[in-house]
Amino acid sequence: MTRRASESGFTLIEVMISLLIFGLLAAAGVAVLSFSVRAQGVTQAKFDDIAALSRLNAILSADLAQAVPRATRNAQGAPQLAFEGGSGGSTDPMLALVRGGWTNLDEAPRSDAQKVEYRLRNGAIERIAYPLLDGADPLPPAVMLGGVDQVALRYRINGAWSDRWLSTPEAPLPEAFEMQIARRDGRRYRLVLLVGTGYVPPPPEGQSLGQ
């Protein structure tokens, strides 16, 4: 009796129950792992989107803060104003300006000023830079922010906002710039940035700007 008991193994039912339990545990593990992978992917996408928005804010802020009143010429030789801005994505480009402070690490024969443009194309805000100020073709565009539905721009001068800007000898640059971004997922952002020399404080009460 003792020898026969030691030689007996698991029954078929016991084996099937064991396999069932193992299968349930494996399925649960796969589900947890799949959820973790999806959550990590969503989190990484959110981080990438936040980084892209921060990068757009930083680069656009630097471009506008160092804007200079320097007119240029396009590749066909036609003159262009130092600062041109439309109301948003319907214009191409929606913003064009000349900025200073372009670091010349390789000591190339060029100016330290650079012509840059911003446009909305295929749901993405792109920045286009030019290697030279006059008569040069643009460099390949750099995508700054994707998933954009609409962009609205405004420009501030003497306490008032305008949805378009063209440089004039009296006012080559606006005082401030506003960009409103509507994303395809429903989120909205508003950037208000200084242009050129920056903020001009209002005159004391009872005193005009010319005094």
pLDDT at residue 210 in the model: 44
Which residue, among 118, 73, 122, has the nearest Cα to 95 in the 3D structure?
118
CA angle at residue 114 from 111 to 115, to 5 degrees? 135
How many helices (H) and strands (E) would you count in the chain? 2, 12
Query: How does residue 85 score in pLDDT terms, banded at 50, 70 and 90?
Result: very high
Answer yes or no: is pLDDT of 209 > 50. Answer: no
Beta bridge mates, 189: 181
Mean predicted confidence (pLDDT) in 190-204: 73
Answer yes or no: is pLDDT of 55 > 80. Answer: yes
User: The tokens 């349930």 sit on which residue?
Assistant: 24
pLDDT at residue 211 in the model: 44
pLDDT at residue 30 in the model: 79
Answer yes or no: is pLDDT of 120 > 90. Answer: yes
Residue with the bigger pLDDT between 40 and 87: it is 87
What are all long-range contacts of 56-63, with beta carbons under 8 Å and residues at least 24 apart? 56/125, 56/144, 56/145, 57/191, 59/127, 59/144, 60/118, 60/144, 60/179, 60/191, 60/193, 61/193, 62/99, 62/101, 63/97, 63/99, 63/116
pLDDT at residue 192 in the model: 93
Query: How does residue 123 score in pLDDT terms, banded at 50, 70 and 90?
Result: very high
pLDDT in tens, 125-154: 999 999 999 988 999 999 999 999 999 999
Mean predicted confidence (pLDDT) in 17-42: 77
Measured distance CA(209)–CA(202) in Å, rounded: 8
Answer yes or no: is pLDDT of 199 > 60. Answer: no
Measured distance CA(15)–CA(81) in Å, rounded: 83
Q: How far apart are the first and last CA of the chain?
A: 117
Query: How does residue 22 score in pLDDT terms, banded at 50, 70 and 90?
Result: confident
Answer yes or no: is pLDDT of 193 > 90. Answer: yes
Mean predicted confidence (pLDDT) in 68-81: 90
Answer yes or no: is pLDDT of 206 > 80. Answer: no
Region of residue 198 (left: phi > 0; alpha: psi -120 to 50; beta: else) = left
Cis peptide before 93 (omega within 30 of 0): yes
The set of residues, in sequence order, having a beta carbon less than 8 Å from that of 143 and lying 6+ positions away, is 124, 125, 126
